[in-house]
Every structure is written in structure tokens, then in C-alpha cells.
Structure 1
């Protein structure tokens, strides 16, 4: 029996479509959570300036103050480190443990500041998952061109 050339769609139904779907899913599956993988150990940072200050805002939802370290580095850089250590435990009785999970994570960003900063009165606050660091601008030095 010859295949009907006018009804080509019937030739591609069934196993061929299954093959194409399997082939597509083979390449799609590894990249499905790729964005989560890239952003897993990072957080959003916004840097802006006022007349006298450089302001850095970092979005750290669910983080507490004792999990965050802020450090001013050489060459006008700022380091924000977040260490998260969570232990979840579910018990039915004192002697019988049903579930225990421990998760530790670390996120870090080093931000190049747009201006030199002074050591004078740096301020940092953390409210509702928003870390705000305010640093005083230092004097910019220009070189005269001869």
C-alpha cells in the first residue's frame, strides 16, 4: 500500500511527533532552571549618588541583620556578604526524630563605587529586606594636562 501524498500529515502523526517532542525536551530540560542557577548566589544592587553621598541599596528578602556583613575595600569598592544557615527539625516524640534539614548558603557582591569615599561616618540600615549603605564622597583628584 502506497502512502497518500495528499495526506502528508497522517505520515507525521504518532511516532514521528513523539520523536520530535522527545528531542525538544532533551534540549529544553537542562536549560529550564538556568536563570535560577545564575541568580542563586546573587542579589540585586542599586547604586546612586546625592550631592554628598554614594548610596548603595541591596535587595535581601528574608535576611536578618546578623547574616549580613558590609566591608569597605581598597580602591573604592564595597563588599556585601550574606551567610544563611537554616536548620529545620520536625519531631514527634522526644526520642524519635522524623525530619531534620540543614541548609547553608552564601551570597556575595563586590561593587565598584563611582566615586572615592571617605572613612567618615558610614551608615548602614536593613529594613524589610532592603539593605541601604550610605558613604560620604571623597574628593576627586584630577591631573593637569600640559
Structure 2
């Protein structure tokens, strides 16, 4: 193979690499690749399974959830039978602007995360108390007073 043929093939390969490089750096593809990079860097702004601790005292169950950076309006509590469900929702709108402060791209992000905590007995929902302060949600669930049954026998 002559030197001219080798040089021609190298030039063709160089042109191919150059066009591929340009393809990945042009606007639509570059924006898509940046979005994918951002997603894999932080797929969920707040953890999908936030930390929850359940303690028990003589009179109540105390459920504590750590929700740093979450606003009270984003939290929803639901009670069904003997389950407490904590749901956190986040809705954000991202706008990218060009050099002249004109919107170039808009993106919406909606995240939802929940934890369901089972308790050993049905819950009287009208007696449950919840407070949220400094990223810490605390739910106090009073224990139900059951009736003690006397067991008869011939002992």
C-alpha cells in the first residue's frame, strides 16, 4: 500500500472522528447528554426511602422521620387501620436562559416518596398528633387501651 493511500484513509478516519465529535457537541444532542449526566449524578434530589424511627413508650408510639430541606406543605400523612403513611412530594420547574435572559429550555421535575409504618393495633386517627420542626417530623400515636379478659380455670 502506497503512502498516498494510507494518508487518504487516515484523512477519512480523521474526518469521521471530527464529524462524530461535532455531532455530540451540537445543541440538541449536547443538551440531552447533559440532562442524562445530571440525572445519573443525582437521580433523586431527596432519598426515595427517607429515614424513619419508631419508638414506643408506655402510652404511645412515636414515629420520627428525618426530612431535611422539605417544606411542611410537601408532607402528607394518611392513617388506615393500623398503618401510618408519610408521603413527601416535590414539584420543581427549571428554566435555562440564554445570554439575553430569554428562556431556552424548561423542565419540570416531580418527585414522590413515601414510607408506610405498621403499628400493632388499630389507630384512633382523631387522637394522633404530628409536628414538624427543623426537618424533623414527629408523629405521636396513643396506644389503645384494650379490655383485659379474666381466664377461668380449675387450677
| TM-score, structure 1 as length reference | 0.62
**1:120·1:136 contact (CA, 8 Å) conserved in 2?**
no
CA RMSD, 1 decimal = 2.9
Deviations 1:2-33 (A, max 9, x none): xxxxxxxxxxxxxxxxxxxxxxxxxxxxxxx8
- Per the TM alignment, residue 50 of structure 1 is displaced from its structure 2 partner at its CA by 1.7
* Number of residue pairs aligned between Structure 1 and Structure 2: 109
Distance 1:56 1:145 in 2: 38
Deviations 1:81-129 (A, max 9, x none): 11111123344556x1145332110101111114443234211111111
SS of match in other structure, 2:70: coil
Gap regions ≥5 residues in structure 1: 1-32
Give the corresponding residue for 1:44.
51
Deviations 1:10-64 (A, max 9, x none): xxxxxxxxxxxxxxxxxxxxxxx8xx88x94211110001221111001111111
**2:79·2:123 contact (CA, 8 Å) conserved in 1?**
no
- Per the TM alignment, residue 142 of structure 1 is displaced from its structure 2 partner at its CA by 6.6
Which one has the bigger helix percentage? Answer: 2
Gap regions ≥5 residues in structure 2: 1-39
